[in-house]
């Protein structure tokens, strides 16, 4: 943001300014809602605005909503109303007087508020526009509210509609999915990792066409693509192939052919390229492969797997001895440490490896310094019985389990909420039961104060058959 570039004389100065901002604004970014343009009722305070002068920037104002005492801004790209920091250029506006009204110019982007076919956007004003209506669409009337000193309506000249936030629609995330944590650092940076909503995939490695659609193939994109699509939690089930040193991904009694190491390399490449994106790798299931049963992976094979993980990912892993630091750190603090690692040529510091030891830990598990799964992650529900329960019954049980357990869930642990069903048609089950219910319930639960910060990792199958990722990211705005 330009403010920090102006203030900071060096990188450390800029860092201190941002840290002060985040600490002083810890309760400021609770909800960002869409700015709307439509007809209104005369008594809507949501369509009444006031001006606040920006003392440090001559000629600029903030536009404050009377109903919610929030401000118009575009800090995360979308035009929204919400709480802001005083230094945000994105919440500073200039009213430029023109014939028949005003143009409203944003300080951060140096672009103008306008509407095209009723949809609000920021854009340039082109003097070459020949269509008079195009000029009118970027022109606004500022009309005092009768009998209400200091308040006014903002009306578009082109269509006569009013600016408001009456419907309190949550703002969509319109940035890059590959960099969403970094892009939203000024909004989510003050929070802890276990207090934001993270899109995750179930059996993330079960993407190969070798997996049968019935009770097997849970994804269609490989892990590298999942990360680029915005997924930040990976649920991993791994088996050792007999008579080889190969590890591959599994799901139920099926296994793929893609070597685990090839996907670890993609994870490492992504982590280095995107040091502000924090990724959770949940090694939930470790098996020995045979056609009859899936016994726990042997100590010796666990050792080989750990050595592989260390070789590929080691320099980017947050270790068990730093668990308390992880729990108590803000996302911003984790991001800054990761950036420091990258700048010093040490890799990154943005991979959380959760290792599912037997609980309690007992002989037979190879000791590691990865974070013990149950010391930082709680799972509110485990999959239903595909052989005796219908898909609707499975997802109903899941929803009720989530609602019940969230009320008493630990506030310093990650919470994993699976919206998955075991199905003879995995893709259909995911779309029509798992994802459908996640998109229905999670946004509404986000409005409940006692569970809002616990809606942490939302896990689904076949994520890419819907707007699941964008919807989950948007809940952080």
pLDDT at position 389, please? 77
pLDDT at position 243, please? 74
- Least Cα distance to 414 among 467, 367, 456, 444 occurs for 456
| CA–CA distances in Å: residue 156 to residues 37, 104, 128, 136, 145 | 8, 11, 21, 8, 16
pLDDT at position 190, please? 92
pLDDT at position 192, please? 97
pLDDT at position 85, please? 86
pLDDT at position 5, please? 34
117: left (phi over 0), alpha (psi -120 to 50) or beta: left
| CA–CA distances in Å: residue 419 to residues 116, 255, 351, 373, 429 | 38, 22, 24, 20, 10
What tokens were used for 100?
A: 């028949």
470: left (phi over 0), alpha (psi -120 to 50) or beta: alpha
pLDDT at position 424, please? 83
In the chain, the largest separation of any two C-alpha atoms, in whole Å, equals 84
Handedness of CA 144, 147, 148, 149 (dihedral sign): positive
pLDDT at position 384, please? 58
Would you give per-residue pLDDT tens digits along the chain (477 residues)? 333 333 333 433 444 434 434 433 333 344 788 999 999 999 999 999 999 999 989 999 999 999 999 999 998 888 999 888 888 999 999 999 999 999 999 999 999 999 999 999 999 987 766 677 778 999 999 999 998 899 999 999 999 999 999 988 877 788 899 999 999 998 899 999 999 999 999 999 999 998 888 778 999 999 999 999 999 999 999 999 887 778 999 988 888 888 999 999 999 999 999 999 999 999 999 998 877 777 888 889 999 999 999 999 999 999 999 999 999 999 999 999 999 999 999 989 999 999 987 654 555 678 899 999 999 999 987 665 555 678 888 888 889 889 888 989 999 999 999 999 888 888 998 999 999 999 999 988 988 888 889 999 999 999 998 999 999 999 998
């Amino acid at each position: 943001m330009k403010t920090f570039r102006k203030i900071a004389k060096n990188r450390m100065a800029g860092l201190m300014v941002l840290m002060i901002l985040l600490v002083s604004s810890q309760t400021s970014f609770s909800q960002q809602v869409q700015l709307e343009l439509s007809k209104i009722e005369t008594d809507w305070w949501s369509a009444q605005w006031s001006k606040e002068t920006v003392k440090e920037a001559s000629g600029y104002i903030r536009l404050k909503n009377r109903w919610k005492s929030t401000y118009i801004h575009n800090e995360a790209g979308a035009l929204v109303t919400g709480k802001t920091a005083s230094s945000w250029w994105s919440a500073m506006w200039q009213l430029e007087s023109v014939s028949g009204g005003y143009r409203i110019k944003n300080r951060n982007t140096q672009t103008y508020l306008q509407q095209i076919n009723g949809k609000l956007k920021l854009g340039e004003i082109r003097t070459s526009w020949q269509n008079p209506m195009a000029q009118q669409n970027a022109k606004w009337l500022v009309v005092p509210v009768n009998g209400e000193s200091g308040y006014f309506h903002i009306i578009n000249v082109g269509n006569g509609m009013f600016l408001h936030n009456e419907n309190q629609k949550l703002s969509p995330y319109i940035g890059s999915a590959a960099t969403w944590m970094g892009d939203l650092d000024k909004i989510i940076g003050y929070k802890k990792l276990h207090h934001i909503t993270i899109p995750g995939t179930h059996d993330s490695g079960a993407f190969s066409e070798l997996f049968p659609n019935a009770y097997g193939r849970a994804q269609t994109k490989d892990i590298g693509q999942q990360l680029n699509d915005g997924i930040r939690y990976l649920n991993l089930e791994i088996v050792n192939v007999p008579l080889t040193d190969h590890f591959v991904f599994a799901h139920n009694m099926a296994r793929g052919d893609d070597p685990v190491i090839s996907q670890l390399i993609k994870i490492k490449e992504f982590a280095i390229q995107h040091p502000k994106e924090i990724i959770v790798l949940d090694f939930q299931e470790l098996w020995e492969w045979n056609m009859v049963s899936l016994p726990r992976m042997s100590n010796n094979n666990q050792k080989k797997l750990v050595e592989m993980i260390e070789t590929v990912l080691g320099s980017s892993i947050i270790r068990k001895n730093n668990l308390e630091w992880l729990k108590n750190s803000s996302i911003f603090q984790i991001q800054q440490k990761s950036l420091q690692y990258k700048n010093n040529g040490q890799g990154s510091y943005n991979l959380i490896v959760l290792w599912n030891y037997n609980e309690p830990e007992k002989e037979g598990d190879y000791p590691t310094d990865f974070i013990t799964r149950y010391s930082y992650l709680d799972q509110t529900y485990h999959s239903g019985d595909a052989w005796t329960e219908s898909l609707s019954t499975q997802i109903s049980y899941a929803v009720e389990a989530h609602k019940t357990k969230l009320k008493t869930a630990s506030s310093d642990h990650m919470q994993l909420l699976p919206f998955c069903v075991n199905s003879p048609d995995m893709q259909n089950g995911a779309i029509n039961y798992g994802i459908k219910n996640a998109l229905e319930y999670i946004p509404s639960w986000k409005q409940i104060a006692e569970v809002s910060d616990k809606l942490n990792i939302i896990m689904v199958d076949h994520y890419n058959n819907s707007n699941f990722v964008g919807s989950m990211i948007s809940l952080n705005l």
